[in-house]
Amino acid sequence: MPHPGLTAVCKNFRYNPDAFSSQLLLILGHIHGCVVNLPLVQFPRGTSSFQAVNVNDKSMVMKRTRVISLFDGISTGLVSLNQSGIIPDIYCSSEIDQYCLKVQRFNHGDKIVQLGDVRDLDSSALKQLGQIDLLMGGSPCNDLSLVNHRRKGLFDTTGTGVLFFEFLRVMLYLKNKSEWEQRQFFWFFENTSKMEMKTKETISRYLGCEPVKLCSSVYTPMKRQRYYWTNLPVSEQFLTESMPNEVMELQDLLCGSGRTAALKCLPTMTSNLTNMVKGGHLPVYDGNDGPSHMYLSELEKVFGLPVNYTAGPNTPLAERKKQLAKCWDTHTINHLLASFKSAVSFSTQV
Ligand SMILES: C[S@@+](CC[C@H](N)C(=O)[O-])C[C@H]1O[C@@H](n2cnc3c(N)ncnc32)[C@H](O)[C@@H]1O
């Protein structure tokens, strides 16, 4: 049986068969295990007209931005937009995890348009959403990550790695549509930097650009290294030059008196919280109770989220940890959004 996403891919042919054909044949070829040797379209990266952007500049509140967030998790994308002074006209979220959906509803109510399973997001559903200015998403990384020795990779249709192609499909549809309508359209795709080189190269080939590698530790006291593929006008140089001068101290993010940071920087957080133990030491020393894990409220602050953001309507602790382990830190996304703000024409936004 074909991957459900393929049904939707094929429907896109109706929209503009010519523009889709080469990319689609490659996708189909790979998923079905046969090689279709067609060149991929190379998308030009943005130019360098973004140099003057101040990441912390919230003076310009942008409106009318229309956003789709695939694999939206707990909508950290929407938190980042708001923190960056971008109040979207419409924020459409594709997510299927029931706990994530509860957290989304709890924090954002009806500000989010729910799209459901990305595999059901066909061209007619996309068409109904009208103009989209920004597409973002980070598909599940468990089947791509080197950490998982039983990973299924990018092309196994029984795994989650193949969901990358759903992002590609939606991105190509929206890009194609925006070109027909002669307007700007931006996107970024995030995933773990701990993936096989060949997986990185394949994703780069399909998306038409190399990723930039960013680590959360330049913004917040936590290691979290990720790849970001994007058509936003970012470069390693831009990101390096516009880095914040000072990183927040772990100590300043601890809640309650008597808690002392035992580490400068937290190791990468995964769903297994024991990873927060470095060299056998817990990250915090609590005067009353001795060595201590980070509280969830403290971790939320490290990720740039409001305290109790993941609490939702009685979300179990284990689920809150899982959500944090896979979510974006908003500091990094804010940095990418700074380049989005610079790239869109302010005069048409406010
Ligand atoms: C790496 S997480 C993304 C987290 C998100 N960026 C955040 O900051 O919270 C991947 C998400 O994809 C979701 N997902 C998996 N399959 C999906 C599907 N078929 N349609 C939509 N979302 C899906 C998972 O539930 C998970 O929340």
Q: What are the tens digits of pLDDT across the range 273-285?
A: 666 776 778 899 8
Q: How far apart are CA 25 and CA 39, in angstroms?
A: 10
Of 189, 326, 337, best ligand 1 pocket probe by most atoms within 8 Å of the beta carbon: 326
Q: How far apart are CA 326 and CA 212, in angstroms?
A: 19
Residues with CB under 6 A from ligand 1: 71, 73-74, 76, 94-97, 100, 117-119, 138, 140-141, 163, 326-328
Question: How many Cβ atoms are within 10 Å of 278's Cβ, its own excluded?
Answer: 14
Which residue, judged by its Cα, is nearest atom 8 of ligand 1? 327
Which residue, judged by its Cα, is nearest atom 21 of ligand 1? 95
Q: Is the dihedral of CA 274, 308, 115, 80 positive or negative?
A: negative
pLDDT band at residue 136 using 50, 70 and 90 as cut-offs: very high
Beta bridge partner(s), residue 188 = 136, 230
Per-residue tokens: 193:
């930097």
What is the pTM assigned to this prediction?
0.84
pLDDT surpassing 70 at residue 58: no
Radius of gyration of the chain (CA): 20
- Ligand 1 atom with minimal separation from the 77 CA: 8
Q: How far apart are CA 225 and CA 291, in angstroms?
A: 26
Cα 240 to Cα 199, 234, 236, distances in angstroms: 25, 10, 6
In this structure, which long-range contacts are made by residues 322-326, counting pairs with CB atoms below 8 Å and at least 24 apart in sequence? 322/99, 322/271, 323/73, 323/74, 323/99, 323/100, 323/103, 324/269, 324/296, 324/299, 324/300, 325/269, 325/270, 325/271, 326/73, 326/140, 326/141, 326/271
Which residue, judged by its Cα, is nearest atom 10 of ligand 1? 140
User: Can you give the pLDDT at residue 247?
Assistant: 78
Mean pLDDT along residues 96-125: 97
Which residue, judged by its Cα, is nearest atom 27 of ligand 1? 73
Ligand 1 mean position, distance from CA 93 (Å): 10
Cα 224 to Cα 47, 211, 218, 220, 303, distances in angstroms: 27, 15, 10, 10, 10
Ligand 1 mean position, distance from CA 329 (Å): 15
Most confident of 37-51, 95-109, 331-345: 95-109
Q: Is the dihedral of CA 296, 298, 301, 303 positive or negative?
A: negative
Mean pLDDT along residues 14-25: 46
Which residue, judged by its Cα, is nearest atom 13 of ligand 1? 71
- Of 100, 141, 255, 327, the catalytic one is 141
Query: 235, 245, 186, 227: which is closest to 51 by C-alpha?
Result: 235
Per-residue tokens: 84:
């960056």
pLDDT surpassing 60 at residue 174: yes
Q: Give the lowest-confidence range in 144-158, 167-181, 281-295.
A: 281-295
Instruction: Locate the DSSP E strands across 78-230.
Output: 90-94, 112-114, 134-137, 186-192, 212-215, 225-230
Ligand 1 mean position, distance from CA 253 (Å): 27
Q: How far apart are CA 162 and CA 164, in angstroms?
A: 5
Ligand 1 mean position, distance from CA 190 (Å): 12
Annotated catalytic, 100?
A: no
